[in-house]
Chains A and B, each alone.
Chain A
Amino acid sequence: MFPSKQEVVAALHSRLPELERERLAYRLTFRNGILTILAAIVGTAASLLTRMPEAIAVTGIVAVVAAIVMIVRMRRHYAAYREQFKQLIVRGAVRELIELCRLPDETPEYRYTWAYHPDERISDAHIDNCLLFTERIDEISGEDLIQGRLGLTDFELSELELVRIERSTNSKGHTSTRHVTVFEGVLFVADFHKSFQGVTLLLANGWLGTSGFFNKLSNNLTNLFSKTKMVNIDLEHPEFNRYFDTNTSDEVEARYLLSPNFIERVLAFKSWHDEKVEFAFVGSRMYVAISTSASFFEPSVRRPTRQQLEQIYEELLFFFSLIEHFDLNTRIWSKS
């Protein structure tokens, strides 16, 4: 079991006042910055009433310089606060959640290890290997890489944003650039508890949740040019088929991975998360792409530090619980 919220808060309690002071200091900087910028705007407006060019010029320059200085100051202060938040709260919560975790049916092989890199993301190799992002990707950004092992299962997760850049030129020769978000959310990767050779993808069924006619059509076209021949299959669960379009290189293997029990677990997970969720089973790993526009593991200066810690605890627990939810530590099958 994972430690309770109270246990994690108690473990980090001594560090909270320090961060709370920093949060209040930043709020003060922010308030002063906003007041200065407002004063600069009012001052400039007042100088306009004097109709004296010299006064307007001097006031304008002073206002612009003051606004720039305050914006830079606010940004620097926020960056310092954010850095401190990630080190104290996020890193601390990851450490306590994993080191205090005790899973059921523990064996001597169970390990509890972790690493947190606030400015890093999941590797390009995982993004390519999972085959969930088949569109062209021009920009990849991400943060909050968490790696570790819970019991027998190695895992990785990070926030990720994949962007395609589209350039178009109109009849007058003007070029415009558009950034299209291919994926925004969290990519979770874990070692799967069964051994398999092929590829199985659970893609979110599109428009109105109707059957994946366009997915099927697209698959047939893709198959013509692809080395890995994929087939679209329906599983025994109608609700599952409504949410997911199952594509696999091996029909029997797909059903081996997606046992009736596992299908129920996938559906239960889908019910927790309203937005798009897709799964890939590739190279003995399970990939879960959780789309969301919400930003995880970020500070919110409006809320007291303790409340923020509780929020981070909930977010981390959501991801770490996936390993137990999908029963990935049960290794009763031969795994080469």
Chain B
Amino acid sequence: MSIMIIALSLAGVALLGVIVIYNTLVSARNKVREAFAAIDVFLQQRFDALSQAAEAVSAYTDHERETLMAVTSLRNQAAVARSDEDKIQVYREMEQLAGGLRLQAEAYPQLQASANYVHLQKTINDLEEKLSASRRTFNARVTRYNTLIEMFPLNLLAGMMNFSRKELLEVDAAKKQDVDLRSILRG
């Protein structure tokens, strides 16, 4: 009888352990998803702001309509992207586009001086900082999640429960450099 009780107790403890591990991993994975969802929200907002900026630039000359079309195309791609990898690819392309748009605007001092464009540029800067912050949050959560699924004894169950490693969002070397932010607005 006593052996039975001990065996049942051990099984109970083991089951409890599995439940705790599973819940810990699910919680960590959901936090990663939540962080990625935040990136998505800021990406959408930045698409809106970039579209407006591209429209403002293209109003000055027809040559710059390509940028507006590129933003629209990327936006469509983002809308149909299902996997995280596809979204990350769109995100990277948009980084380049934002830099290009800023360079184009530099050719039109009148545009840069307009209150609307300055406001728009501030909004874009703000969203870029928020994107950067949400990307750092995502990476922090992915690091925690990856650490959890590699730690003993969690790693024994993580594989069986289909918890796989997640990739970090890399930051371009150019983005890591300290830029003179004042000059962006003041030319």
Residues of A within 8 A of B (CB): 105, 194-195, 233-234, 236, 251-256, 259-261, 330-335
Contacts and interface: CB of A to CB of B under 8 A. Distances in A.
B24 interface: no
A262 B137 CA distance: 16
Contacts of A330: 181-182
A255 B182 contact: no
Nearest to B119: A334
Nearest to A104: B182
9 contacts: A194-B129, A234-B140, A254-B133, A255-B136, A259-B129, A331-B122, A333-B122, A333-B125, A333-B129
Interface of B: 35, 38, 119, 121-123, 125-126, 129-130, 132-134, 136-137, 140, 176, 178, 181-182, 184-186
Given A105-B182, A194-B129, 4 more contacts: A236-B140, A255-B137, A332-B181, A334-B122
Contacts, number: 53
Contacts of B38: 252
A152 B178 CA distance: 23
Contacts of B121: 332
B134 to A, nearest CB: 5
A332 B137 contact: no
Given A236-B136, A255-B133, A256-B133, A334 B186 contact: no
Given A234-B140, A255-B137, A333 B126 contact: yes
Nearest to A254: B133
A18 B184 CA distance: 51
B130 A256 contact: yes
A252 B122 contact: no
